[in-house]
Amino acid sequence: MTGAAIRGADPAPSLVGISSYARVRTASNVQKFTIPTGYVDAVRAAGAVPIVLPSGEPQPAKLLPQLSALIISGGGDIDPNAYGGRAHEMVYSVCGERDVFEFDLTRAALAERRVPVLCICRGMQVLNVVCGGSLHVHLPDAVGEQITHRLPERQPTRHSVRIDPDSRLAAILGRTECEVTSWHHQAIERLGDDLRAVAWAEDGVIEAVEHVTHPWCLAVQWHPEMQLGDEVQQRLFRALVSNP
């Protein structure tokens, strides 16, 4: 191949790793790893190639050199024992395999520092626990129901958040208040080390954090991948891929 041909070749695509949901067993007794298509579609729309990272990889740090960016996705609850929480009847879909994998992957990304990280919903809770923080085990018990963060039967809802104007998040979204799609019953209680809260719901629940020493580590409690038609929310994925 000539030098001219090499120079004219398309650049390698940006690969964005997305942690998968926990393995599940179907009615036909087949085990599967899954991921909602919104994550895949949002990454593709941002101009990158999504790579699903299933739980159970024994050395998550070895995945990072292949990636241009990382998303820690949403899903079921973290085991309350991981942050000194109590048992609660509303805790659901706990998976030790997923907890271990995402904890190790997040720690590796924070230490490696080259890969930008976006943590979404459960992902924000993973980041907080990894940094030594704790969670409200069931949010209505802690803050009441002034704001509905999810509807009965575990369905998403919408509410507004206010954003610190002096934050990376505000710079990316281009605003200090927005409507978000919310689907969670847990949230940050005690903020982890090196994390800074940068967005809040009207009831005071922390809705976004930024890591103060990592070059690009941002977490939101809401689900931007469920707002594919919202230009403001999709700026998060474009910023992750372009890493401004």
| Residues carrying an active site annotation | 121, 223, 225
- Give the separation between CA 111 and CA 114, rounded to whole angstroms: 9
- Placement of tokens 């200090």 in the chain: 176
DSSP category for residue 209: E
Q: Which two tokens stand for residue 192?
A: 């982890």
Q: What is the Cα Rg of the chain in Å?
A: 18
- Give the separation between CA 103 and CA 82, rounded to whole angstroms: 10
Cβ atoms 192, 128 nearer than 8 A: yes
- Placement of tokens 């009831």 in the chain: 203
- Give the separation between CA 203 and CA 206, rounded to whole angstroms: 9
Cβ atoms 172, 203 nearer than 8 A: no
The helix-helix angle for 37-45 and 231-242 (nearest 10°) equals 70
